[in-house]
Structure 1
Amino acid sequence: MRRVRFCAFLTALLLTAPAFATDSWQSLQQQAKGQTVWFNAWGGDQAVNRYLDWVSGEMKTHYAIDLKIVHLADAADAVKRIQTEAAAGRKTHGSVDLLWVNGENFRTLKEANLLQTGWAQALPNWRYVDTRKPVTEDFAIPTDGAESPWGGAQLSFIARKASMPTPPENPQALLEYAKQHPGKVSYPRPPDFTGTAFLEQLLLALTAQPEALKKAPDNTFAQVSAPLWDYLDKLHPLLWREGNDFPPSPARMDALLASGSLNLSLTFNPAHAQQKVTRGELPADSYSFGFHDGMIGNVHFVTIPANASASAGAKVVANFLLSPQAQIRKADPTIWGDPSVLDAATLRAEEAKQLSAQTPAGLPPVLPEPHAAWVNALEQEWLRRYGTR
């Protein structure tokens, strides 16, 4: 077994891009000492915020880096700030050193050449990354080493056994459940990213042209997306508040589920329900599920703006986020429950055992997200059709 594990580890090393040379990484760590790194991250979940507080403490204790967390309501806010600085000619000393990002926001920054590239796969801890996951592309956009993977995600429903003993296996079954339980189903209002992901999930399941979703939408958008709007036209009158209002966030949906106002919530974390039950924030009979044919999933990343003030410190933080210690802690549902991006076969036996114990079992197949350009296209059409109600 040890020989097999060593061979897998060696193979992983050989397949990865060249890492920082030992002396250059040590030099970079010395450069990072004493730096203040401004890490802009979504702040909408207290478990995430507590985890980042722990990361900040570790960076201060072991690396002499002052990691400051900027809690964002939406990563797009930081993207706009980076764009504004670029427009003003601020090529150095930017206000964002590290950004939690993926999807449309990454595409926006990459296409404008506002990110550092070529560094992610050179991080020493890249050797642990599971390269079978989509860690070198983001919503079908090549990362070109501009993003370091941080965690996995998969869209998941949350329900209670008392009100949904048998979960719907597909969109049609969900529609039937909504007919039988009017007012008890909803989804977050787009452009909340989970609400938009729900639209993408339905589109993947309903469209007759799934191949079209692998590239940016074109003049076939109306034809490709027509089944989605037909479905929503049937679903919306059955929703909470008859589809005239939508919960603003997954957190609000969790609260409505806990109070019995809704029978369904949504999350991008398959371990979310277990985490909330453990903390007493959801009833004990809450559980996660997905459609039988699969649920969309992705990898979320951290990235470094081209004008970052503390580039060295940001790389050291990104590398720490990929460490077995940090990934195992993050995957623990009692702490955060965010799926790891590491390959257990590259870890020491005890670390591999710990990581495997934190990996949810029985998840549906992971479906790739549509091309990043579908996000804005779907959101704009949704707002045109339903946003003024």
Structure 2
Amino acid sequence: MKPLLSAMLALGLSQSPALAEDWQTTLDAAKGQTVHIHAWGGDERTNAFLDWVGQRTQERYGVGLRHVKLTDTAEAVARVLAEKTAGRDEGGQVDLIWINGPNFLAMKQQGLLHGPFVQNLPNAEYLDLSPGSANSVDFTVPVEGLESPWRLAKFVFNYDSARIDAPPADMAGWVDYAAANPGRITHPDPANFMGATFLKQALVELAPEGTDLSVPPTDDSFAAATAPLWDWYDALRPNLWREGQSFPENQSVQQQLLNDGEIDVHMSFDPASAAAAIRDGLLPETVRVHVPQAGSIGNVSFVAIPYNAANMAGAKVVANTLLDPEVQARMQNIEVLGSFSVLDPARLDDKARAAFAELPSDPALPALDQLGPVLPEPHADWMTRLTAEWQARYTR
């Protein structure tokens, strides 16, 4: 009997002997491979964490990890699509992609993804993969085992408590706040996902009662749902930074504006971003995290394997390593990255639960129960249409 299979059976792990044997075959095939993970490269702490993951997979499994840093995930999607169009169905340049929402939907619809594979990862036993769970749905689109979760994301506002009290309790309140404090708030360009998320948060709160954002919009449903949003934005825009005529390119630029005292509020999809930036000397120690009273949009970050990945076995090893409880606890450590884990605490053993309980805290790091309700992402088509409509209205 092979060593991994013997060890799994001795420990009483839930995977069947057949699945354990399949995983050993995957490990054997993966040894010596270098996985090219195409992932956003705009956060140095995330980049450093992925480097550490690569060191771990190299030491334990002989699998290397090379981070291809992206400014937009669509770059990797376009590469895989171009390879498929050219008939390159094997040996693709992209082995693993950090992916979400519209990009996942596009790849799924066009048959660009390998799988399902998640249920065969040994560490999937620590996940809640029940239908409708956060790990099983991506922007309302069923994952169906085609991408593996690795960290939680939740939309938050970071503000400097030395300058202002907590921001408005709801999105509607930003109009009066901006009018009273002209030029002190802004948002990233909606061509960037953070700017688009700001608009989506407003849409979720302002859309007429009964609007179903979980299904793709029609022309009529989009017009009806967004009418209050555009009225709100028309009132907000003149009092934005630079009178709403220009916008930070991304959240990093917006964070620098907050650090420089030019604006009062920064937006992030990472509740630990304020604490992390303070530790790195990129924000004042007085910055704190705010979540709208009714909650904010949240989702799970996933990794997916293209259908033609050259190093498919190695990609599965990396995806499984990202779900290792020890790796997830390191990821959640604010001294390392601070991203919240996707694992179900009820499925962890005592040692793993203790590792999470002992993680360091920070004055600017909210506890999970302080982040309020998670509002589901609208269907990916809403974001696509929302950003296009914003550009049509405000970039003439």
| Superposition TM-score, scaled by structure 1 size | 0.93
For residue 20 of structure 1, report the CA deviation from its aligned partner.
Answer: 6.4
Distance change (3 Å), C-alpha of 1:19 and 1:291: farther
CA distance in 2, matches of 1:271, 1:257: 16
In the alignment, what sits opposite 1:290?
A: 291
Partner of 1:108: 106
Q: Percent identity?
A: 40
Q: 1:262 to 1:210 in 2, by over 3 A?
A: farther
Determine if contact 1:271/1:360 at 8 Å carries over to the other structure: no
How far is the alpha carbon of 1:277 from its aligned partner? 1.4
The letter for the 1-side match of 2:110 is: A
Q: 1:24 Cα shift?
A: 1.3
Q: Are residue 378 (structure 1) and residue 392 (structure 2) matched?
A: no
Aligned to 2:97, which of 56, 81, 99? 99
Alignment of 1:337-352 (within 5 A): 337-352=338-353
Q: Distance in 2 between matches of 1:333 and 1:252?
A: 22
The corresponding residue for 1:190 is 190
Q: CA RMSD in A?
A: 1.6
Alpha carbons 1:209, 1:224 under 8 Å: kept: no
C-alpha distance in structure 1 between counterparts of 2:60 and 2:73, whole Å: 28
For structure 2, list consecutive stretches of 5 or more residues without a partner in the other structure.
1-12, 360-366
Deviations 1:199-224 (A, max 9, x none): 11000000104532110010221111
Match of 1:118 in 2: 116
Deviations 1:275-308 (A, max 9, x none): 1112221100101111100100001100000000
2:8 aligns with none
> Aligned equivalents of 1:20 and 1:249: distance in 2?
47
Kept in 1, the 8 Å contact 2:54–2:64? The answer is yes
In the TM superposition, residue 314 of structure 1 has moved relative to its aligned partner by 0.3
2:242 aligned partner: 241
Tell me whether 1:367 sits opposite 2:368 in the alignment.
Answer: no
Distance 1:19 1:121 in 2: 14
Taking a change above 3 Å as real, the CA distance of residues 18 and 247 of structure 1, as seen in their structure-2 partners, is: farther
In 2, the alpha carbon distance for the partners of 1:18 and 1:302 equals 25
Instruction: Check whether the contact 2:172–2:206 (CA below 8 A) recurs between aligned residues.
Output: no
Separation in 2, partners of 1:354, 1:20: 31
Q: Name the CA distance, whole Å, in 2 between partners of 1:142 and 1:321.
A: 21
Structure 1 residue 42 displacement after superposition: 0.5
Q: Distance in 1 between matches of 2:356 and 2:239?
A: 41
Unaligned runs of 5+ in 1: 1-12
Structure 2 SS opposite 1:213: coil
Q: Post-superposition shift, 1:18? A: 7.3
User: C-alpha distance in 2, partners of 1:20/1:137?
Assistant: 28
Q: 1:291 to 1:23 in 2, by over 3 A?
A: same
Look up the SS of the partner of 1:313 in the other structure. helix
Task: Give the aligned residue type for 1:243.
Answer: G
Deviations 1:300-353 (A, max 9, x none): 100000000011000011000000111111111221111110012222223213
Give CA deviations for 1:334-375 in whole Å, capped at 9, x if unaligned.
211111100122222232133245554411210000001111
**Distance in 2 (alpha carbons) for counterparts of 1:19 and 1:371:** 39
**In the superposition, relative to structure 1, how do residues 227 and 357 fare at CA in structure 2: closer, same or farther (>3 Å)?**
farther
Once the two structures are TM-superposed, the CA of residue 274 in structure 1 deviates from its matched residue by 1.2
**C-alpha separation in 1, matches of 2:129 and 2:77:** 27
Matches of 2:356 and 2:164 in 1, distance apart? Answer: 31
- Name 2:5's counterpart in structure 1: none
Aligned residues of 1:115 and 1:305 also touching (Cα < 8 A)? yes
Do the aligned residues in 2 keep the contact of 1:169 with 1:292 (CA within 8 Å)? yes
> Which amino acid in structure 1 is aligned with residue 372 of structure 2?
P
- What is aligned with 2:20? 22
Displacement after TM superposition at 1:19 (Å): 9.2
Q: Report what 1:259 is aligned to.
A: 260
Q: Structure 2 counterpart of 1:178, which letter?
A: A
How far the C-alpha of 1:191 sits from its partner, in A, is 1.5
Secondary structure at 1:245 match in 2: coil
SS in 1 for 2:314: helix
Correspondence for 1:229:
230
Match of 2:145 in 1: 145
Secondary structure in 2 aligned to 1:270? coil
Cα distance in 2 between the residues matched to 1:44 and 1:357: 29
Q: 1:210 to 1:125 in 2, by over 3 A?
A: farther
Residue 355 of structure 1 is matched in structure 2 by 356
Contact map agreement 1:20 1:123 (CA 8 A) in 2: no
Q: Classify the secondary structure of the residue corresponding to 1:211.
A: coil
Deviations 1:158-197 (A, max 9, x none): 0011122233100122222111110010001012001101
Change (3 A) 1:357 1:164: farther
Whether the 8 Å contact between 1:118 and 1:146 is mirrored in structure 2 is: yes
**Aligned partner letter, 2:390:** W
TM-score using structure 2 length: 0.91
- Judging changes above 3 Å, is the alpha-carbon distance between structure 1 residues 184 and 19 closer, same or farther for their aligned structure 2 residues? farther
Partner SS, residue 212 of structure 1: coil
Query: Is 299-308 or 20-29 further displaced after alignment?
Result: 20-29
- Per the alignment, do residues 119 and 19 of structure 1 end up closer, same or farther by CA in structure 2, a change over 3 Å counting? farther
Q: Is the 8 A contact 1:20 1:122 kept in 2?
A: no
Paired residue secondary structure (1:168): coil
Question: Mean alpha-carbon deviation: is it higher for 171-180 or for 43-52?
Answer: 171-180
CA distance in 2, matches of 1:185, 1:290: 16
Structure 1 36/166 Cα, relative in aligned 2: closer, same or farther at 3 Å?
Answer: closer
| Range with bigger deviation, 356-365 or 337-346 | 356-365
Q: Number of paired residues?
A: 374
